[in-house]
Chains A and B, each alone.
Chain A
Amino acid sequence: MKKYEIAKKKVLTSEITQISVYAPLVAAKAKAGQFIILRVDEEGERIPLTISSAENGLVTVIFQKIGGTTLALDELQEGDCLHDFVGPLGVPTHVEDLGRVAVLGGGLGCAIALPVARALYEAGNQVDLIGGFKTKDIVILEEEMGKACTDLHICTDDGTYGYHGFVTGKLEELIQSGVKFDHVFAIGPLLMMKFACKLTEKYNIPTTVSMNPIMIDGTGMCGCCRLTVDGEVKFACVDGPDFDGHKVDFDEVIARNNTYKEQEAKAKEKHLCRLGGGAMNG
């Protein structure tokens, strides 16, 4: 197999794709909670993606087609190679037997919650994995998640499958029914993590979140991914991506992640136009 070859590609939903990339040195070292940075082509942007699993020389990542780069990535097929693939970056999720834990995954965040849940489960924890999706059609990884926990709770915003409501609703229901969680891990959109932390703060449950700010190098060089934790500036790439959720200034991260929103929207539009143009000509 060639360096950075896409060995396997799986379409999970119309928006979400899973690829397994040949990178044996990275695969040998990767641990739950770590990420990689890739570039699709020579002129491409560097994008960070959290590692979903790693074995047999392959590193699996799951991405959502949200911008120009992820759309270009999705055009690659099995046998194609990425231009760059670097990792494993970041500090692995701290895994130990904490007792009973809840792992919350929101949408694509389930792809990241999965290895964390698996590692915690294998370390002896009783794991409630709560995966939230907008609707039934976009539920991903249900089978894999089922194997990585004690109890799997799927939630949908519209009630078309599983629990009707947000993951935080399900978590609160479990807490109120008498379940005592020793720790909560929340992984997903910033708003979901923010509200999960508000909830667990109320019940005094230590909570770890996995932050995903804008990044360039991923090695602490640019400071672009900085966030405020307990009043101190931290770099998500080298100090994280996991942080104590009760100490993260979420509103600041949410604002910073919107820095290039306009430009990203333009890039996506441009990319879709290019695809459209290709189809018309072809």
Chain B
Amino acid sequence: MANMQMNKTPMPEQDPNVRNRNFEEVALGYTLEQAQNEAQRCLNCKNKPCVSGCPVGIPIPEFVGKVAEGDLAGAYQLLSDANALPAISGRVCPQETQCEGKCVRGIKGEPVSIGRIERFVADWAAENGLANVATAPKNGHKVAVIGSGPAGLTCAGELARMGYEVSVFEAFHTPGGVLSYGIPEFRLPKAIVKREVANLEKMGVDIELNMVIGKVLTIPELFERGYEAVFIGSGAGLPMFMKIPGESLIGVYSANEYLTRINLMKAYKEGAETPILHNKKVAVVGGGNVAMDAARCAKRLGADVHIVYRRSEAELPARAEEVHHAKEEGIIFDLLTNPVSIEGDETGHVQSITCVKMELGEPDESGRRRPVVIEGSEFKMEVDAVIMALGTKANQMSYGGTPGLEQTRKGCVAADENGCTSCPNIFAGGDAATGAATVILAMGAGKHAAKSIDQYIKSKQ
């Protein structure tokens, strides 16, 4: 008989007024008792709606059932066979719109907290030295993966498991892509990313850092070097700005820059070589996960932080938990508000941001109600930094100019849901193919592409 408790078993967290001054992980994870209690809420439905909501197809009721029984090793085996990076997805997936969004328990009460159970199992395995690194015997075929973010790492892991020799080319000095430079330590500790990457290396994946494909080697040159297929998982790089006056003032950052300075270059640490400005009052423009991350980092560096978002709370694209955490930590949400200019002092430093108030009109092409400016609502807010978290657009550095490789209207690699492109030996997935999206969608794309690559290489024989 399932545990009929209506709500999720709470997960211990650092107190908001303590954690908003440190970079340690916010959510502390379940104990075994808590994980089992939560797992026992699963009804083990026959048609498994949760699995249909999972981009990587984890056998959710089965692994949750193992946790309920207390067979954690069995749970880890099932989980890690389907998902190469469970400790990561357990922390950063938008479960409310995926597996948990489909959970029958969510109809009356809260869904089973699948994400928290997933995280518990992955962390338990790591603490007990378990790693699912078994691979098929080496098959002698070489595949190159461009980018070591969630798409690339997942694709590499899947291929290595099938016996392929995989090289991952990363432009930065650290692997992980957005997992390393973007998502902050307090949401995804970098030790976990390192651990997952180390597991891939144990599976024989070769990770080559400081390799900017498109510059040091092109995709055709990778083929010349004996790679039979190439997976493009280079992400959606170029940060967007609003094209309003004042965006080049000192103190205006793209969220990518701000987060990279903090996460990758550890600018928040005393004595770090890479500097960051310690601001007093910061406006973060945007409403996605990246905006929440930037806002919460700025808070931790001692600033008063406002999120400025042009639509209403219902349209915030960020994960519900991130919005909740941000509010708890004292981030102020200026909703239905849109910047029109940024003003600086005589030395070129940001002094204020001028915004207008918005109201929601008719739905636009995205289906969301279009924000419309309220006449005469202009007001000025004094700030000393503005962080633009407006999303990113295609960065074609790795694949631009590759003969025969078609692009989408937005300049991404044109790829189908199996990761196939207009070139039979080139595959793509994640943000490089879709534009900015989520970690788990990138992981799903990496997984599907690995399957397509396997089919392609086998079909040649």
Determine if chain A interacts with chain B: yes
Residues 100-121 of A at the B interface (beta carbon under 8 Å): none
Q: Which residues of B have CB within 8 Å of A87?
A: 212, 215-216
The binding surface of chain A is classed by DSSP as mixed
Main secondary structure of the interface of B (DSSP, over half): loop
- For A256, give its contact among B172, B237, B273, B348 (CB under 8 Å): B348
Assess whether A46 is interfacial by the CB under 8 Å rule. yes
Query: B211: which A residues are within 8 A, CB to CB?
Result: 25, 86
Determine the distance from Cα of A25 to Cα of B171 in the docked complex, in whole angstroms.
14
Q: Is B273 within 8 A of A233, CB to CB?
A: no
Select one of B238, B248, B261, B348 contacting A220, CB under 8 A: B238
Among the stretches A146-154, A181-189, A223-231, the one at the interface with B is A223-231
A267–B270 Cα distance when bound, in Å, is 12
Docked complex Cα distance between A86 and B275 (Å): 21
The residues of A that contact B397 with a CB separation of less than 8 Å are 219-220, 238
Contact present for B257 and A223 (CB under 8 Å) = yes
Q: Is A45 a contact partner of B250 (Cβ separation < 8 A)?
A: no
Number of B interface residues at 8 Å Cβ cutoff, please give it. 38
Q: Are A259 and B277 in contact (CB under 8 A)?
A: yes
- Does A207 make an interface contact (CB < 8 A)? no
Q: How far is the CA of A233 from the CA of B397 in the complex (A)?
A: 18
A25 vs B209: C-alpha distance when bound (angstroms):
13
- Nearest chain A CB to B427 CB, angstrom units: 21
B250 touches A259 (CB 8 A): yes
Contacts of A264 in B (CB 8 A): 275
Q: How far is the CB of A274 from chain B (nearest CB, A)?
A: 11
Q: How far is the CA of A238 from the CA of B254 in the complex (A)?
A: 16
- B239 lies within 8 A of A223 (CB): yes
For residues 233 through 257 of chain A, which have their beta carbon under 8 Å from a beta carbon of chain B?
Answer: 233, 235, 238, 249, 252, 255-256
A-side interface residues, number (CB < 8 Å): 42
- Residues on the A chain within 8 Å of B395, using CB: 219-221, 238
Q: Which B residues lie within 8 Å of A196 (CB)?
A: none
**Which A residues are CB-close (under 8 A) to B171?**
86, 217, 219
- A68, A88, A220, A255: the one within 8 Å of B273 (CB): A68
Q: How far is the CB of B255 from chain A (nearest CB, A)?
A: 9
Having A220-B238, A223-B238, one finds 11 other A-B pairs with CB under 8 Å, namely: A25-B211, A43-B266, A43-B272, A69-B273, A84-B209, A89-B212, A217-B260, A219-B171, A219-B395, A228-B248, A267-B275
A-B residue pairs in contact (CB < 8 Å), sample of 29: A25-B217, A43-B272, A45-B273, A46-B265, A68-B273, A84-B209, A86-B212, A86-B216, A87-B212, A216-B261, A216-B265, A217-B260, A220-B237, A220-B238, A222-B239, A223-B241, A223-B254, A226-B248, A233-B247, A238-B395, A252-B248, A255-B249, A255-B250, A255-B348, A256-B250, A259-B277, A260-B275, A263-B275, A264-B275
